[in-house]
């Protein structure tokens, strides 16, 4: 048995805090009965509806890998009615993205209805590698790239060690392409890391999330993960 707000949040409906608000407003039913009591516990076998929608926590788990295109927001809904990553996947199951890619960032993004795996993957200590390819205005020196690798200050905190590799230097156009592997997932982390050494990211692509790459997927295409890949992801986060 789990607290109702936890189940609702893990089903990906909304945050735990928002779920508490909805419970206190009388918007949540368990097996047809309205619950407003905050400590109420339910099980994943119960039928839970929020604002009349069955949040289907006992549904089969699904896992998609999307090659996110530019100009799509990483969210389940948008106030401005823009297209979201969830709109790109054909399914009736309520899924949500694992972490976030910026509106203009492309590449590997997981979507699922598995709240447990999502929480484990996005946890700061999860240690999941993410490989980003950044096109940058200017050509950072070896020393500047070394700074990126050993950690720079963003939002008052030093970033963890990263792997950095110059992939391409275009001296004529004063542009470079740099591969950066990080474990953390702070907001706009890669752009802020480059900003910290004085460079602007003009294009950003996530080439790999953990061991999952999107080489075989065109922009906007997606595929389901196979059971072996799901098991491997659980293996990574349970280490």
Active-site annotation, residues = 102
Q: What is the 3-state secondary structure (H, E, C) of 39-87?
A: CCEECCCCCEEECCEECCCCCCCCEEEEEECCCCECCCCCCCCCCEHHH
Contact between 108 and ligand URA per CB under 6 A: no
In whole angstroms, the minimum distance from the beta carbon of 111 to ligand URA comes to 15
Contact between 61 and ligand URA per CB under 6 A: no
In whole angstroms, the minimum distance from the beta carbon of 203 to ligand URA comes to 11
Contact between 203 and ligand URA per CB under 6 A: no
Angle between helices 189-196 and 142-150 (to 10 degrees): 130
In whole angstroms, the minimum distance from the beta carbon of 115 to ligand URA comes to 22
Q: Which stretch binds ligand URA (CB under 6 A): 12-20, 60-68, 97-105, 144-152?
A: 97-105
Sign of CA dihedral 95, 99, 101, 102: positive
Q: Identify which of residues 113 and 189 has a Cβ nearer to ligand URA in the complex.
A: 189
| Residues 156 to 195 in contact with ligand URA, rule: CB under 6 A | 188-191
Three-class SS state of 222: strand
In whole angstroms, the minimum distance from the beta carbon of 57 to ligand URA comes to 29
Three-class SS state of 153: strand
| Residues 4, 52: Cα–Cα separation, whole Å | 16
Contact between 101 and ligand URA per CB under 6 A: yes
| Residues 111, 89: Cα–Cα separation, whole Å | 9
- Residues in contact with ligand URA by CB under 6 A are 101-102, 105, 188-191, 204
């Amino acid at each position: 048995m789990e607290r109702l707000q936890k189940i609702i949040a893990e089903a990906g409906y909304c945050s735990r805090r928002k779920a508490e608000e909805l419970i206190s407003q009388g918007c949540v039913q368990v097996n047809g009965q309205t619950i407003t009591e905050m400590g109420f516990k339910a099980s994943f076998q119960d039928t839970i509806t929020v604002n009349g929608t069955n949040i289907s926590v006992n549904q089969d788990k699904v896992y998609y890998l999307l090659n996110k295109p530019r100009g799509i927001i990483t969210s389940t809904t948008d106030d401005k009615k823009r297209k979201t990553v969830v709109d790109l996947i054909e399914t009736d199951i309520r899924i949500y993205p694992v972490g976030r890619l910026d509106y203009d960032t492309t590449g590997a993004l997981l979507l699922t209805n598995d709240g447990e795996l999502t929480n484990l993957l996005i946890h700061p200590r999860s240690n999941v590698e993410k490989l980003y390819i950044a096109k940058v205005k200017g050509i950072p020196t070896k020393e500047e790239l070394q700074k990126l690798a050993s950690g720079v200050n963003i939002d008052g905190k030093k970033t963890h060690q990263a792997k950095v590799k110059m992939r391409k230097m275009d001296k004529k156009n004063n542009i470079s392409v740099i591969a950066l592997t990080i474990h953390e997932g702070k907001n706009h982390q890669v752009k802020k890391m480059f900003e910290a050494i004085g460079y602007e990211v003009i294009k950003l692509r996530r080439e790999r999330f953990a061991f999952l790459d999107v080489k075989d997927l065109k922009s906007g295409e997606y595929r389901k993960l196979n059971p072996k890949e799901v098991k491997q992801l659980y293996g990574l986060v349970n280490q």
